[in-house]
Amino acid sequence: MESIPVEKNEKVTVSFTDLTQEGSGVAKVDGYTLFVPGALPEETAEVQVVKTKKGYGYGRLTRLIEKSSLRAVPPCPIYDQCGGCSIQHLSAQGQLDYKRRIVTDALERIGGFSGISVGMTIGMADPWKYRNKIQVPVAAQDGRFAFGFFKKRSHEIVNLDSCIITDPLIDKIVQTARHAAEDKGIEPYNEAKNSGVLRHIMARSGRKSGEVMVVFVTRTEDLPHRKALIKELTENYPQIKSIVQNVNKRRTNAILGNKTKTLWGRPVIYDQIGSVTFAISAQSFYQVNPRQTEVLYRKALKFADLTGEETVIDAYCGIGTISLFLAQKAKQVYGVEIVPEAVKDAQANAELNKITNAHFETGKAEEILPKWYDKGIRPDVIVVDPPRKGCEASLLKTMLAMKPQRIVYVSCNPATLARDLKLLVPGGYAIKKVQPVDMFPQTLHVETVALITRVKE
């Protein structure tokens, strides 16, 4: 076995040539790969080796010698500790270029495609303060009330006074809720003992409506001092239309439990994407960047190329966000979603918008679509917006059997997008357009809309 050319704790000077999909700089020492967080391509730096494995190792940036022209100064005071944003040190244009390359590389490396034209990533004019939802852990830490985000690769909380990628209003509201809870002596959650009361404080806002919901996630059925908390919040923030409590008694990393009760106001807030209004509950999946969501959905609608005569299937329809967008231009839309509560929300949202040409069913897309096919439903367009794991192989097989003219694939994971396209294209389709959208500036995530069209019967 060849020897490893570096040792743990050794300091070496290296030049960086690439970025990983985790945002670490990539350098070589005598052919041996080192991954170093915080480093950028075209930089030279002194690095301390912190871990070595047979084929690669990890390093810590100790001194920059030559800086990249794309390097930016992270404005967040806890950027180097917090695990939320990971590429604030990369300029806005650098982030857009990087995300496009992630998509291109996945299509080539995983999908085996060559010559695919990937559009320039659509970014934001102001890539800050965009999140309409914040959920902040609360914990007993060193005998104190800790409130903030988890430190990278740990369950230790970094105390947070403000988050610069969050809507400033809900940022202030969660801080007010935090101080009120602390002042009133509400016991923070102890993860090790599964004891205490308050686990998370969550807030979400409607960008167009201006409405705000506050959620107290507790381990216990009772929320002490809830009347005082409600008074403090509602007297200071008239934008708050809903205060709810979610009970999560389990030892779990999942934030929300199954039981939610309204403490004050409505159980939902409302917001609009384009001309469609949505009711949003504490449990609803609703994209956290509403400005870019509208960009994403309009791109999907454009790719669908609807004339008003088409039958459309929306797999993984959630609360109906894309379905109801499509229903404005389609003859009929069929949506399927595995979460029953989401389907109820989708049906309610259709009724709220007086949309009558959208039908929703609960179940697994890979099981419901064959039933629709057996009933004679023949879609002209299929839209999929799956979770990070991508589409089930059985669903892709059914989609091919249905032979739609167009498939619009909305993806939050370029790797599974490429994998699934590799299965779809040989079934008689060609990739026509691929468009990345920067839904989460300052982070590594990228959304992509891909259009594939039928080329043979």
How much is the pLDDT for 1?
A: 41
Contact at 8 Å (CB) between 52 and 4? yes
212 Cβ contact list (under 8 Å, min separation 6): 169, 170, 173, 203, 204, 205, 206, 237, 239, 240, 241, 242, 269
Concatenated DSSP letters for 11-63? EEEEEEEEE-TTSEEEEEETTEEEEEET--TT-EEEEEEEEE-SSEEEEEEEE
Give the pLDDT confidence of 330-378 residue by residue, as tens digits.
999 999 999 999 999 999 999 999 999 999 999 999 999 999 999 999 9
How much is the pLDDT for 83?
A: 73
3-class DSSP state for residue 76? coil
pTM: 0.92
- Which among 76, 82, 317, 412 is annotated as catalytic? 412
How much is the pLDDT for 174?
A: 97
- Is 391 in the active site? no
Element (H, E) at 396: helix 393-402
Which domains are delineated in the chain? Answer: 11-66 (2.40.50.140), 104-124+289-454 (3.40.50.150), 133-273 (2.40.50.1070)
- The residue among 192, 169, 172 whose CA lies nearest residue 180 is 172
Concatenated DSSP letters for 219-286? SSS--TTHHHHHHHHHHH-TTEEEEEEEE--SSSS-S--SEEEEEEE-S-EEEEETTEEEEE-SS---
How much is the pLDDT for 234?
A: 98
For the chain, residues with pLDDT lower than 70 are: 1-2, 457
Give the pLDDT confidence of 21-61 residue by residue, as tens digits.
778 999 999 999 999 999 999 999 999 999 999 999 999 99
